[in-house]
Structure 1
Amino acid sequence: MSLPSSSSSDPSVVSQLLATAHWAALAHGQQRRKSGSQPAYIQHPLHVASLLASPPSSLCPDPPLEILQAAILHDTVEDTDVTEQDLQDRFGPVVTRIVMECSDDKDLSKEARKQAQIDSAPHKSDGAKHVKLADKLSNLTDLMSPEGRPAGWSVKRIQEYFIWAKRVTDRCIDVNPGLGAQLEELYKSATFVHSGKTFKCHPDYE
């Protein structure tokens, strides 16, 4: 993919993060989230990075730059025409490895990809585990609000996502106790409103 590169001579963390966000925004282009308001897709990876950099994340107050960059870029290979080599050339091996660990194999069926996330979660690098936890937390938070969830999702589908997400995060939750505790609280007690009625997000977890 042909995207602009910026000078690597400026060591500023803020400068590098802003350049990464700009690069990811160009990569995601006109993609939109599937929620009713259809916000620009880039809001999701930026939210994932923000969750890692803010309390209660255990990486706060000094999250590694490479993990934040990987969070911003985590969907580029899976959902755009960005390649692994593009990331390698622009961001180097550490960021690229984390992004690739967080990318599903699109040659697999949807169910196989979901099972692969469960199976691979405990074997990922710590960097990838951090991104995976924040990614799931961002998606779960969206599902709890009518404005954030994909249009047409039923109560059953929302709850099935929570059940599956817990199976993924349970296998890597120890890497970030702060986000882990936040996720556990969602699984245990969070609710959502659908068609005027209130439901538990995770129906089977006490």
Structure 2
Amino acid sequence: MNLLDQAIEFAAVAHDGQYRKGTHIPYIMHPVAVGFALQRLGCEEPVVIAAILHDTVEDTEVELIDIETRFGTEVARLVQGVSEEDKGLTWEVRKQHTIEALSEADEGVALITIADKIHNLRCILEEFREKGERVWEKFNRGKALQEWYHRSIYEATSTLQTKAVQQLRSEYKQCIDVIFHAK
């Protein structure tokens, strides 16, 4: 089995029994979608693998050393770069830290972060079409703070001028504008 398939299997086991917030959609669909989006963009294998594993340390019992042992130092570094360090902090503090760290992040971390956010917004938009403004009820922080967060992530990645990052930023901006101005 190749390393990419191993990463999918590893993430599927780690996220077993988890579902996307407020849905019956198995959680594994999200990291796989993020990884495949980056693969289609032509990203290198460590970035794609880290995208598939991006929520394992943050949302499961997996530790960073498990990822490093199984998938290497570069994948572990990328996963660490996109993971929130302390889930005990308030949402606002955690998100502000993410924004600040992203302003100094490298291309791989930025690509995974933006692809992750694009997929999240696409899922929200799909639900918005069914539920309207009620979609925001499942979030502890409402629409205004969600918009602040996404626009801040978008701005924090503005210093990275690589073609891949700029392509994803363009797509991200379109998603932000559609979801936060949808009627």
- How does the TM-score come out when normalised to structure 2? 0.84
Q: Does 130-139 or 106-115 show the bigger shift?
A: 106-115
* Residue 25 (1) aligns with residue 22 (2): no
Unaligned runs of 5+ in 1: 1-5, 7-14, 55-59, 192-198
Could you tell me which of 104, 114, 121 is aligned with 2:84? 104
2:35 corresponds to which of 29, 35, 49: 49
Give 1:158 shift.
3.1
Counterpart amino acid of 2:21?
Answer: K
Cα contact 2:150–2:176 (8 A) shared by 1: no
1:16-63 deviation per Cα after TM superposition (whole angstroms, max 9, x unaligned): 211110111001111111133x21100010111122123xxxxx2x32
Report the count of equivalent residues. Answer: 173
* Cα-Cα RMSD: 2.4
The letter for the 2-side match of 1:83 is E
Pair member with larger Rg: 1
| Corresponding position of 1:160 | 145
Instruction: Decide which moves more: 143-152 or 38-47.
Output: 143-152
Whole-angstrom CA distance in 2 between matches of 1:153 and 1:87? 31
Which of 49, 52, 62 does residue 82 from structure 1 map onto? 62
Distance (Å, rounded) in 2 between the aligned partners of 1:153 and 1:167: 21
Flag structure 2 segments of 5+ consecutive residues without an equivalent: none
Pick closer, same or farther for the CA change 1:35–1:150 going to 2, 3 Å: farther
Q: CA deviation at 1:170?
A: 1.6
Question: Per-residue CA shift, 1:68-98, capped at 9, x if unaligned?
Answer: 0000000000000101111111011000000
Higher helix share: 2
Identity over the aligned pairs, expressed in percent? Answer: 29
Residues in 2 aligned to 1:32 and 1:64: alpha-carbon distance in whole angstroms: 28
TM-score, scaled relative to structure 1: 0.76
Contact 1:21 1:46 in 2 (8 A): yes
Q: Deviations over 1:134-182 (max 9, x none)?
A: 011111111112269967348x823431331110122114441111111
2: CA distance between counterparts of 1:49 and 1:23?
14
Please list every run of at least 4 consecutive aligned residues from structure 1 whose deviation after the TM superposition is greater than 4 angstroms: 147-151
